[in-house]
Amino acid sequence: MNEKYFKNKNAVITGAASGIGRSLALELAKMGTNLVISDINLERLENVKEEVEAYKVKVVSKKCDVSKKSDVKSLRDLTLSNMQDVHFLFSNAGIAAGGHLESFSNEIWRNVINVNIWGMINLVYAFIPKMVEQGFGHIIVTSSIAGIIGAGGLIPYSTSKFANFGFCEALYGEFKDKGIDVSIICPFPIKTNLIETAKISFSPELLNKYSQEQLAKAFEIGKEHYWNEFTKGGYELERAIHIYLKKIAKKKLYISERKIARFLFFIKGLWPNFYKKLVRKVGAEHINVLDESTQTAIDFIENI
């Protein structure tokens, strides 16, 4: 890994209390990067701050809901009062939502769009003037493989991740000549705790059939089954993070821990009929996992 690219630099990371964000913070701290870390979960964030401080770098933490422009502005002001320059902006905070299309409420759609799309936009608008002023910077957005290939059963999430792609490509086209690099991280399912905040939607019929108490218990059982199946064969988080940082240091626009991501770009344009079959296959397999998870939840309720 090119440690020189990160050593004695300053980075802002959102969604840093767990998962990819936490691992990015720790790996960057090991290489001597000063950090401003944020998350909506302040208790976990402070635990990460303590872990980072062991590496003797400067670290500042702040609770931040990226969907709120005022929170992001406060994060920027805190950053600029503690760091002379902003070298890296990691727009990493995000939420997921899985289920059949008809099960998604408007509230779920709004939450996914507000965090995954508006959160990214709010961050870039807040920090890019500073990067333009200093003449350098690197913006890194955590998207998903679901932003490369549409995933049935993840329609709100996939929609938001495609938006990440379009925004970042256009951003690169407009700001690269101003000294600002852009990278899009496209993780395959990897073993993180994203499922803790994920919205898994059950059908209205199921919601009306059981009590809230029964559903709450069953929901956790169903989510656990879903996540175990969804991440089966996925990379361990630490391995994926090393790959991401290595490619960030090389200023890659598209970043994934799997070579198949590049293959998906290739076949989409060259073999469109094969690609359509693949989209159907991916959607069917994911819907099957969701339905199995729902059945696992139902079995749990009925056996109480």
**pLDDT at residue 209, rounded to an integer:** 65
Active-site residue, selected from the candidate residues 157, 226, 235, 244? 157
**pLDDT at residue 265, rounded to an integer:** 79
Token match 């998870």: residue? 293
Q: Assess if CATH 1.10.3720.10 describes domain 3-196+235-270.
A: no
**pLDDT at residue 278, rounded to an integer:** 87
Task: Check if the beta carbon of residue 78 is closer than 8 Å to that of residue 94.
Answer: no
Q: What is the mean pLDDT of residues 216-226?
A: 68
Query: Tens digit of pLDDT for each residue in 197-207?
Result: 555 555 555 55
Residue 189 has pLDDT above 80, yes or no: no
Which ranges of the chain would DSSP assign to H, the alpha helix? Answer: 19-30, 42-53, 69-82, 106-113, 119-134, 155-175, 204-209, 212-230, 237-249, 260-270, 272-302
Query: Tens digit of pLDDT for each residue in 39-97?
Result: 999 999 999 999 999 999 999 999 999 999 999 999 999 999 999 999 999 999 999 88
Query: Tens digit of pLDDT for each residue in 110-132?
Result: 999 999 999 999 999 999 999 99
**pLDDT at residue 188, rounded to an integer:** 79
Top mean pLDDT of 116-125, 190-199, 236-245 is at: 116-125
Q: Residue 113 is which amino acid?
A: I
| Torsion sign, CA atoms 232, 238, 76, 63 | positive
What pTM does this model have? Answer: 0.88
**pLDDT at residue 79, rounded to an integer:** 98
Q: What is the mean pLDDT of residues 202-226?
A: 64
Q: Residue 298 is which amino acid?
A: I
Whole-number Cα distances in Å, 24 to 12, 108, 140, 222 = 11, 28, 11, 29
Query: Tens digit of pLDDT for each residue in 250-266?
Result: 999 999 887 777 778 78
**pLDDT at residue 128, rounded to an integer:** 98
Residue 304 has pLDDT above 70, yes or no: no
Query: 211 falls in which pLDDT band (50, 70, 90)?
Result: low
Residue 157 has pLDDT above 90, yes or no: yes
DSSP string, 214-265: HHHHHHHHHHHHHHHHHTTTPPPHHHHHHHHHHHHHTT-SEE-SSTHHHHHH
Query: Tens digit of pLDDT for each residue in 12-39?
Result: 999 999 999 999 999 999 999 999 999 9
**pLDDT at residue 199, rounded to an integer:** 58
User: In the structure encoding, which two tokens stand for residue 57, read together?
Assistant: 């770098």
Output 245-252 pairs: Cβ under 8 A, ≥24 positions apart: 245/1, 245/6, 245/24, 245/27, 245/28, 246/1, 246/2, 247/183, 248/5, 248/138, 248/140, 248/183, 249/1, 249/2, 249/5, 249/6, 250/2, 251/138, 251/181, 251/183, 252/183
- Residue 36, H or E segment: strand 34-39
Residue 191 has pLDDT above 80, yes or no: no
Task: Check if the beta carbon of residue 60 is closer than 8 Å to that of residue 36.
Answer: yes
3-state SS assignment for residue 23: helix
**CA angle, 301 then 216 then 295, to 5°:** 40
Q: Quick check: is 157 catalytic?
A: yes
